[in-house]
Amino acid sequence: MNEITLANLMSPVAPTWCPGCGNFSILTALKQALVELKLNMEDVVIVFGIGCSGNTADFIKCYGLHALHGRGVANAIGIKLANHNQKVIMIGGDGDIYGEGFNHLVAACRGNHDLTTLVFNNHRYSLTTGQASPTSAKGTISKSTPQGLIENPIGALSTAISNGAGFVARAYAGKLKQMVDLIKEGILYEGFSLIDVQQPCPSFNKEQDYAWYQENVFDLAADYDPTNQGQALVTLLDQDKLGLGVLYRNDQRLAYHKEVPCLSAQSLIEQFPKEINLSKAIAEFV
């Protein structure tokens, strides 16, 4: 077995994100979390979405899959069900996961599939040069909304909680240690963990820069109870001030694969025959 180190996570491809992008610190936090958990390379699979966040696939050396736009969570569910002994991580942006892939996100929450989903949330479709995304504020002026965005931002985290996600947290790219700790906790949680990572986009979201975040994020209070679902939902109603930390955690519900009878003894990949003779099947068509 090959234990994860920073050295063996190092890709030969250098990141191409814009200077000042929050993705740099998110990638650093993810690598550090994997190292501190002392996981083996063979036991971790990362699914990457499309967009600036999806380009992380080029910048970290690991077992993984670069999925279609919005379909990463569905692919991650398939990987987990094929081998539930794997730690499966899904990386995507706010457009990828809260837009095109929102139906798959809700399905993962309802099933409490044992995945860790990291949303790189910069409130824009930035790879396509800054169109409004599902998390953009009402009134946002962008290439796709030159007269101002009409819709309200999506309540993705409250939707996740109300639909059965077992672990929901919010991090900020400007607070590295906290981000590392939340990613570690999410990976170790047995069930669906959603970590929304707030990050500046210096190229296409100049309003929500690092100074804006310093004024609008806060750590959840020491007496905050993450097992209180009602308290979590009330906290999330305030979309202007962003609480950081574990918003909700439910340790009472089983992960999806724990309730599938055929997976109780072995993973599907362990049950798969080592050798398959397809000659009889092929003979019918030749």
Top-confidence residue, 102 or 264: 102
Whether 266 is in a domain gets the answer: no
Arithmetic mean of pLDDT, 234-263:
94
- For the cut 90, the answer to whether the pLDDT of residue 238 exceeds it is no
Whether 223 is in a domain gets the answer: yes
Top-confidence residue, 161 or 266: 161
Render pLDDT for 158-171 as a digit per residue (tens, 0 to 9). Answer: 999 999 999 999 99
Arithmetic mean of pLDDT, 74-93:
97
Render pLDDT for 28-40 as a digit per residue (tens, 0 to 9). Answer: 999 999 999 999 9
| pLDDT value, residue 141 | 95
First to last CA, the chain: 43
Render pLDDT for 54-70 as a digit per residue (tens, 0 to 9). Answer: 999 999 999 999 999 99
What is d(CA 251, CA 167) in angstroms, rounded to the nearest whole number? Answer: 9
Arithmetic mean of pLDDT, 58-85:
97
Up-side HSE of residue 131: CA atoms within 13 Å toward CB? 10
Whether 17 is in a domain gets the answer: yes
CB neighbourhood size of 208 (10 A) = 20
What pLDDT band is residue 277 in, cutting at 50, 70 and 90? confident
pLDDT averaged over every residue in the chain: 96
- For the cut 80, the answer to whether the pLDDT of residue 1 exceeds it is no
Render pLDDT for 188-228 as a digit per residue (tens, 0 to 9). Answer: 999 999 999 999 999 999 999 999 999 999 999 999 999 99
256 Cβ contact partners less than 8 Å away, ≥ 6 residues apart: 81, 111, 112, 113, 114
CB neighbourhood size of 267 (10 A) = 17
Find the CATH number of the domain harbouring 85: 3.40.50.970
Query: Number of folded domains in the chain?
Result: 1
Token pair listed for 14: 């250098």
* Residue in 23, 30, 42 with CA at minimum distance from that of residue 6: 30
Domain, as residue range, for 120: 6-256
The pTM of the full predicted model, rounded to 2 decimals, is 0.94
Whether 40 is in a domain gets the answer: yes
What pLDDT band is residue 186 in, cutting at 50, 70 and 90? very high
Whether 215 is in a domain gets the answer: yes
- For the cut 80, the answer to whether the pLDDT of residue 239 exceeds it is no
Buried b / exposed e across 74-112, counting CB within 10 Å, b at 16+?
bbbbebbbebbebbbbbbbbbbbbbbbbbebbbbbbebb
What is d(CA 207, CA 186) in angstroms, rounded to the nearest whole number? Answer: 30
| pLDDT value, residue 76 | 98
Cα-based distances in Å from 134 to 96, 123, 156, 265? 10, 7, 9, 41
Token pair listed for 100: 């095109």
CB-neighbour burial class of residue 184 (10 A; exposed 0-12, middle 13-18, buried 19+): middle
* pLDDT > 70 in the chain, percent: 100
Whether 284 is in a domain gets the answer: no
- For the cut 90, the answer to whether the pLDDT of residue 281 exceeds it is no
What is d(CA 46, CA 64) in angstroms, rounded to the nearest whole number? Answer: 5
Whether 164 is in a domain gets the answer: yes
Whether 163 is in a domain gets the answer: yes
For residues 173 and 25, the answer to whether their CB atoms sit within 8 Å is: yes
